[in-house]
Structures are given as C-alpha cells and as structure tokens.
Amino acid sequence: MAADLSPKVADGARLRHANLRTALAVTLIAVLFFAGVIAAQFVGDSAVGMSVVAGAVLLFLVFAIGRHLRK
Amino acid sequence: MSAIPHDHLAGHDDAHGHHPTGLMRWITTTNHKDIGTLYLLFSLTMFFVGGCMALTIRAELFQPGLQIVHPEFFNSLTTLHGLIMIFGAIMPAAVGFANWQVPLMIGAPDMAFARMNNWSFWLLPPAAFMLILSFFVPGGAAAGGWTLYPPLSIQAGMGLDLTIFAVHIMGASSIMGSINIITTILNMRAPGMTLMKMPMFCWTWLITAYLLIAVMPVLAGSVTMLLTDRHFGTSFFNAAGGGDPVLFQHVFWFFGHPEVYIMILPSFGIISQIIPTFARKPLFGYASMVYAVASIAILSFIVWAHHMFTVGMPAAGLLFFMYATMLIAVPTGVKVFNWLATMWQGSMTFETPMLFAIGFLFLFTMGGFTGLVLALTPIDIQLQDTYYVVAHFHYVLVAGSLFAFFGGAYYWMPKWTGTMYSEKLGQWHFWLSMIFFNITFFPMHFLGVAGMPRRIPDYAQQFADWNMVASVGAFGFGFTQLLFVVVVVKCIRGDGAKAPAKPWEGADTLEWTVPSPAPYHTFETPPVVA
C-alpha cells in the first residue's frame, strides 16, 4: 500500500520543531568554531585546539548527512 | 532532521499570503524569490563597483610609472577590489541562486526561516556601504591586501576597523543564510525526494553551507582578535607584545582556502544542471559527483598552508600541504571527467548557458592546472606573490565562478522573468567575455613567471608590453559586461519572447514544472517525486 503523503496539521508542528533542531545544531557548530578559534589561541596550542574542534565537526557532518542518505 | 511532508505556511516561520507593493515589498519581503532577486541585483551592483576598482588598477598599470592614483590609494584599491568581489559579488550571487532555486528544485514552498532570510540579505547593503565608506575616513581604506595580514593591518587607520566590522556583518549574513539552506534542504524536501535524488545544485549548496558554517566563524574569530590587538591591548598577532603575525596567516587561511571552494562549489552545481540539459542526457556518475564534492570540501580543510609556503615551515609541513593540495585534483578531475562524459554522444546544442558552461570547463580546468603548479612547493616559492598567482585565481574565480553564474542566470532567467533572453546578445556576451578574459589574464602567467610582483602600482620596463595587453583586455571585459545588463533589463521589462514553463527540452528538475515566470507562491501542495 502506498504511503499517505498528504500534508497534515501535525506535520506543520513537527516540521517547525525539526527546523529549529537543525538550526540550533548548525548554530552550535558556528559558535563552537568562533569560540574555539579564540580559546585555542588563549590556551596556546592552536594546532591541538583546532584539530579537536575540526575533528568533532567533521564527525558530526558524517553522521548528520550519512543518516539521511537512505531516506 | 528528516524530510517531512509539508503544507503551505506550515514549514516556515512567516505567513506571507499577501504582500505589500513598491519599495516596502522589497524591504519587508520574506519570499524566497524576492530575496533571491535582491541578492542577485546586489551582487551585480557590487560586481560593477569592484569592476570599476579593477579598471582603475589596470589603467594605472597600463604603462610603467605612476600616472593616475597614489600608491597608497592603489593598495586600497587592490584590497577593496578583493573584498568586494568575494564578499559583495561572488558569495551573494551564489546565495541569490540558492534562494531562487533550492526551494523550487526540492519542491519546498519557501526557505525554512523566511524572516531570517530577509535579515540575511538586508545586513549586506550596510556592510558594503561601510567598506566603501572606508575610502573616505582618515587614513583611507584598508591597504594591506584582502587577507588583512598583520602587522600592516594592526598599524592601519580607521578604515580597517570599518573593514573588520563589515566582514563581521557579512559573515553573520552568510552564517544565517547557510543555516536556512541546510535546514530547508534537510527538512523540507518533497516527499520521495531522497538526498541521492536531489539535483546536484542542491547538493553542492548543502555542502557549501556546511563549509560556511565551519569557516566563517573562524574568520570572525581571527578578525575579532585583530580588533582586540588594535584597540584592547592584546597581542595575539602583535610581535611587539609577544604575538605571532604568522599565526594570523594560519587562522586566516583555515578560513580562506575553504572559502575558495565556497565560491566554486555552487558553480559546480550550476554547471551540473546546465550540461545534462543541453547534452540531453542524465548527468554521468551522479553519485560519484556527490562524493567528489564532499571530498573536495573535506580536503579543503587540510590544505590551508599552501598559501604560505614561504613563511618558514618544517619540511614535513611543506610536504604534507603540497601532497594534500595535489590530492584535491583527484575529486576535481572526477567532476571534469563526468561533465565531459555527460556531453559524450549527447544531442548537444549550444545556447548561451551551454556556451558559458563549456567556457567554464575549459578555463576552470586551466586554472586548476596552474593551481597544481602552485601546489608544488619549490615552484610556489619562486612564484609566491607574483602575477602568476593573480592569473591562477582569476582563472578559477572569474572564468570559474563568474562564468558559471552567467550560465546559470541565462539558464534560469526565463523561469525568473517569464521572458526569453536575447540569444544574440547572450552569444555576443559569451564570446566577447571569453576573448577579453583571456587577453586580460593569460599574459599575467608570463608576467608572473618573469617575476613581476603583485600589488604594485609601478613596475620595471620589461613588464610593460604584457601589462598593456592585459589592461586593454580588462577594459574590453569590463565593457562587455554591460551587455549582460542590457539582457537582464530587457528580460525584466518583458522585451522578448514569452518563456514557456519548460524552455529547455532536456531540463528535468522540479522548477520546470511550474509556469514561467514562477508564481509568487509555488509548491503549496508538495509535489511527489517518483
């Protein structure tokens, strides 16, 4: 049986929440990078600081996009 | 974060069932098509502002000696030309295309956050105004190059503070735009449109948006530290206080190299839409194209120091960044191969968008090859800060990004305006651009190899001939772009044949299923993608 793809009222609320979740996650990455690059300079070892931040974000991207590939 | 069926107005945060007219329409609009138009017109305006600066530079360099501008002003021109073209012309143009096309191509009614979309755009004009205003403050505009390297940027006048502020604002605008695009693509695709069924343009923009999210805050952080060094007594980059100016270069290029891909990936997406349409064949190797774009984006994070081979790095660092940079040629080669394979045995026709796409392919590949030359550390040490570098990045960003944007504009203009553009003017625009572009920038390879440094208003006599040729080409290229303005104005005024819903026989994406011009509201009922 084909899935019912017609819009529903509940879908609107779900979509808004999904949008907000996505936006918050992405904003968090931006804030992390902004604060991370300055904090790394204060700590003194910029290479380690930036590697940790970049690694965390890349892992996030792999998971965030990877789980969508089958949908 | 999954694609959820949506109804009109449910998926985004603004009800815009009715809209004001006149100026208020454009100031208050939350409609993605209006905002896309604003972005595109803004970028075209800034393209001409930055272009006028380029022509002043080329006029000064027409012959040796100081003729037209003071050396300090010349330095400001090169700096502001770079900043305006990158942040004012190329990036907003790409966002303009995304605003118009992404919702139409994925079957969404609008962007996810419509009010934020309006705000993203309206941050740009004040930022651009501040950049231009910096010419008129004491000390003049920033003059240390668009890279804002210390110590020059620490010593500069008030113009640099305005530049930093403008960069912050433009960065915030880019981040907001990226959040909107990521959210729209991940959550608002039409039912049945999986990520691996999305048009390539949407894929390239999804990845570009992630790049922007990762690197714009780094730029913001680095210029914030520059600002505190200038005014609040810190010494991040100030050698006099124990800071390290080279550190700024590392942090800046951690932003700066992905930025190059931020400017070129949306162009890849546009080209990937145009070539299959006019070859009348599906894109060859769709999945490999997606993985190639993702690979380019990831690799772009680990190659930044190839911009600074001459600062004094350990040999292991030089080797790592050289090989990592050369590695990018692999996914880029996959893309070029796939575009060529798409054309292979296709029923090709050569309308203006296809001409620009082929021009892009030809010239961008040349820019890519000179990039490989510059990736080789021993050669780069010789060519660092010469006109060879100037030639290289103009082949990538003018013949790459700009040609793709022209191609995209001709491709989608019938959908945007409801009027077919003048094919005759379009063809003239392409051929004159192609010829004058090469007259301008090809000789710069010779100048660079001969040792002419960049960012100088005067030069030795032996560089005179090729500089004269380049200046003639630059003026030809500049005036040719007025043809594009004529084409756009004619389309906006409806001066031309009426465009059908699908003017291109080989086009198969969702935007061609709505009438031309695209109605103010589209996909109020989401389409179902098989």
Say yes or no: B526 contacts chain A, CB-CB below 8 A: yes
ipTM of model = 0.78
Q: For residue B88, give the 3-state DSSP assignment.
A: helix
B261 is catalytic: yes
Say yes or no: B158 contacts chain A, CB-CB below 8 A: no
Enter the DSSP assignment of B107.
T
* A19–B187 CB contact, under 8 Å: yes
Give average pLDDT by consecutive 10-residue segment, chain A, 71 residues: 46 86 85 80 66 67 63 53
Residues of A with Cβ-Cβ distance to B210 under 8 angstroms? 61
Nearest CA-CA partner of B284 in B206, B340, B358: B340
Q: What six digits make up the tokens of B321?
A: 């960044």
Mean pLDDT of B124-141: 94
Mean pLDDT of B458-465: 96
- Say if residues B237 and B221 touch (Cβ distance below 8 Å): no
Query: How far apart, in whole angstroms, are the C-alpha atoms of residue B235 and residue A38?
Result: 12
Taking CA atoms, B462 is separated from B383, B443, B459, B468, B522, in Å, by 17, 13, 8, 12, 60
A21: closest CA of chain B, how far (Å): 7
> Residue A12 has what pLDDT?
81
Helix (H) or strand (E) holding B375: helix B352-375
In this structure, what are the phi and psi dihedrals at residue B453, rounded to the nearest 5 degrees? -75, 150
B495 is catalytic: no
Q: What is the pLDDT of residues B144-196, one digit of tens each?
A: 899 999 999 988 889 999 999 999 999 999 999 999 999 999 999 999 999 99
Mean pLDDT of B408-415: 97
B18: closest CA of chain A, how far (Å): 20
Lowest-pLDDT range, A5-9, B271-275, B419-423? A5-9
Q: How many CA atoms lie within 13 A of B64 on its CB side?
A: 9
Model confidence, pTM: 0.92
Q: Would you tell me which residues 58-117 of chain B have a C-beta closer than 8 angstroms to some C-beta of chain A?
A: 112-113
Say yes or no: B6 contacts chain A, CB-CB below 8 A: yes
Asked whether residue B320 carries a pLDDT value surpassing 90, the answer given is yes
Residue in the structure block whose two tokens are 């990831």: B298
Lowest-pLDDT range, B124-138, B231-245, B448-462? B231-245
* B217–A21 CB contact, under 8 Å: no
Q: What is the pLDDT of residues B97-112, one digit of tens each?
A: 999 999 999 999 999 9
Q: What is the pLDDT of residues B12-58, one digit of tens each?
A: 554 445 677 788 889 999 999 999 999 999 999 999 999 999 999 99
Asked whether residue B526 carries a pLDDT value surpassing 90, the answer given is no
B276: closest CA of chain A, how far (Å): 23
Q: Would you tell me which residues 24-63 of chain A have a C-beta closer than 8 angstroms to some C-beta of chain B?
A: 25-27, 29-38, 41, 46, 50, 54, 57-58, 61
Enter the DSSP assignment of B391.
H
